[in-house]
Amino acid sequence: MSYDKMEALRDEWKRVYGETLPSLALSKSFVQDYWPVHVDHCFGRIILDNVIGRDSPWMKKLKSPAAKNMTSEQLEACIALGTAIAEGRESLPLLDAKSLQLRGKKQQKPAAVLANSKRKREERSDANDNNNNNNNNNNNNNNNNNNNNNKKENTGSAHKKKKRQIDIKSALTPPKTVKAPLSTAAAAAPPASNPNVPPPESDEVDPDLHHLITASDLTLFRQSVLLTLCQVPSGSFTSYAAMAGHLHSSARAVGNALRNNPFAPRVPCHRVVAADKKLGGFGGEWGMQGKHAGEKVRLLREEGVVVDTARGKVEGLTWNAFR
C-alpha cells in the first residue's frame, strides 16, 4: 500500500479513537447503554486489545506506537471495530471487560456486564417514561391557551436525546442568509475584547467558504469544528472549551481538529485560546514559546484583541454565542 494511503488510514484510526468515541462518551450518546471509559487512550486500549491482542495485551504483539507499526489490515480492522462501537453494533462494556481480563485486572463477567447494560437501559427507559408522565400531568392542569406548549413538552425527552449527540448536522447546514454589511455606527463600535463591552453577535459563514469546507475530504467532525469557528467575529476570541461545549465534544478533540487548518486564515484559528485565556496553540505548537506565537499575537492585535505578551494571555470576554 502506498505511503499516502497508509497515512490516511493512520489519520482515520486516530480520529476514531481520539475524537469520535471520546466525543460520544462525553455527550453520553445512547448508541451504548453506558460508557465505561471516556478518554482516547482507553478507547485505543480496548480496540487494540480486541483486534491485535486477542489473547494478551496488544503491546506483547505490537511495538508502540501502534498507529506507526500496524499493517494496513490491522488499521482497517481497528477502524472497523471503532466504527461499530460508535454506531452501537458492538458492545463497548463487553469489549472493555475482555480487555481488562487480558490484563489480569478485576472485572465483571460477561453475564454481569450484559445484566448491567440491561439495567442501565431499563433505568433510562423508566426515566423517560416518568418524564412523559409528568409532562402529561402538567398538561392536564394547564388551560386551553397552553395546549400548544404542552404538546412540545411531551416530546421534550426525545429532543433531549438528540441534543446530547454530537450536533454535526446543524453545524454543516448551509446558512440561509448572508449578514448585511455593518452600519457605520456598528463598525465604529469598540472591539469585543474590551472587558466592559459584551461580545457581538456571530458572523454568518461565507457561502463560498462553507462550500469549500463541506466539499473537502475532512472528517465530518473536523468540518463541524471549522464551521463553528467561522461564527467567531473579528475582534473577538473564543476558547477550545467553549467550542467543545457547543459541539458536545471535548476541548482536546477540538484542538486536534484545529491543529492543521487548511483554510487559514479564512477559518480564523488564531481566534481560539485556552480556557484560562492563555494564547493556546497555533501552527501546530503551543503557547508563547511556539514558533508561530508571534504571528497569532499579530493577527489578534490587528483585529483589536488586547494581548498581554508578558503573561501570554488575551484580555476581555470569551465569545460564546454559537448558533
Confidence (pLDDT) at 164? 44
SS3 120: helix
Non-local (6+) Cβ contacts of 134 within 8 A are none
How many other β-carbons are positioned within 10 Å of the β-carbon of residue 4?
A: 8
What is the mean pLDDT of the segment spanning 75-80?
95
Residue position matching grid coordinates 472485572: 107
Q: What type of residue is 84? A: A
In the predicted structure, residue 44 carries a pLDDT above the cut 60: yes
Distance CA 83, CA 96 (A): 15
Alpha-carbon distances, residue 304 vs 129, 165, 204, 277, 313 (angstroms): 52, 35, 20, 16, 14
Alpha-carbon distances, residue 12 vs 16, 17, 307 (angstroms): 6, 9, 36
What are the pLDDT digits (tens) for 178-219?
444 444 433 333 343 333 334 334 446 788 888 889 888 888
What are the pLDDT digits (tens) for 156-173?
545 544 444 444 545 455
Distance CA 154, CA 139 (A): 9
Name the residue with higher pLDDT: 130 or 171. 130
In our burial notation (b when 16+ CB lie closer than 10 A, e otherwise), range 232-262 reads: bbbbbbbbbbbbbebbbbbbbbbbbbbeebe
Taking alpha carbons only, the member of 86, 99, 82 closest to residue 12 is 82
Distance CA 214, CA 128 (A): 35
What are the pLDDT digits (tens) for 248-302?
888 888 888 898 889 988 999 999 999 999 998 888 788 888 888 999 999 999 9
CB 226 within 8 A of CB 270: no
Mean pLDDT of the chain: 78
Helix or strand (DSSP H, E) at 282: strand 281-282
Strand-pairing partners, residue 272, are: 238
pTM across the whole model: 0.43
Helix or strand (DSSP H, E) at 211: helix 207-214
In the predicted structure, residue 50 carries a pLDDT above the cut 60: yes
Distance CA 86, CA 201 (A): 34
In the predicted structure, residue 121 carries a pLDDT above the cut 90: no
Non-local (6+) Cβ contacts of 318 within 8 A are 199, 237, 238, 239, 242, 273, 277
Q: How would DSSP label each residue in 57-88?
A: -GGGTSPSSHHHH--HHHHHHHHHHHHHHHTT
In the predicted structure, residue 221 carries a pLDDT above the cut 90: no
